[in-house]
Amino acid sequence: MILRLLLTLSLAAPATEEAAEAAYSAGDLEAALKMYLELAEAPGAHPPRALDGAHTSLRAMHREDPQGGHLCRARDMARELVRRDAFASEQERGAWIEMQAEDERDLAGVSCPDAGVGATERKASPETEQAVLEESGERVRSEPAARAEGPAPLSVPKDSSPWRPRSRIAAASALGAVGLGLLGWMAGALAGRARANEVIATITADAMADGREFTLGERAAVHDANDRHRRLDGIAKTVGIAGGVILLTSLAVLLVPPRGASRARVRASGAGLVYSF
């Protein structure tokens, strides 16, 4: 009941990943598929991430209706993404290649609606297809002859630059600020150490020039400067190492490619919960 309520509310609002997950878990696969496709077309979206959910929804629809052509659409989606090769990492690319291979295995011996005249003409005129893709952003086949009946091919939006979660960018920025702050502290400690060393050198040079021993005031000043030199030297080393490590960590957090989205899904069923991968 709660899942149905969440689904009803999600359909009245713009598509979000949470709403799509709620629709999938409630068993409304058509609504989940529609929302995942809207997410993939949203500005700044990373299509392979959103289309992973759309692909999973299509495979779930195939399990419920094996004659509906849903697996053919899922295969076409994976094939088109692999052809464009617009992935954020090799891990993500490998996952989609594996998904395409899985679709091909499950379709062994099955004739999809897009096999035949349409497929032949598409191979013969890739320039026409590419021009339509660039103009409309949708996958459209050029078929002047009779078109085979069946489910319409899914659109696969062009990919944007490699996607980075906002939380990762924020964490990297915070770590970088801390690292730079510590390095600034190290610079201050080194400057203080240099001043302490200069005090010792000046007092020593004056005493040697006059050919005398240190006075009580000079001796106290030298001891105080020497203590500051040792203290600041230790601080500079400790803070510098910590700042460097934190700064490198911030760069690693920002630059490491994002992990491919999980394909695990769960939805309600009459006998309990059904997991799909």
Residue 245 has what pLDDT?
A: 95
In terms of Cα–Cα distance, which of 253, 193, 271, 277 is closest to 227?
193
pTM equals 0.41
Series of mean pLDDT values for 10-residue runs along the chain (277 residues): 46 68 87 87 83 90 86 90 86 90 86 51 43 42 43 50 69 91 93 92 90 88 91 93 93 75 52 52
Residue 114 has what pLDDT?
A: 55
Q: Which token pair is 143?
A: 């078929």
Strand partners, 269: 272
Amino acid at 158: K
Interaxial angle between packed helices 17-25 and 29-41, expressed in degrees from 0 to 180 and rounded to the nearest 10: 160
End-to-end alpha-carbon separation of the chain, Å? 25
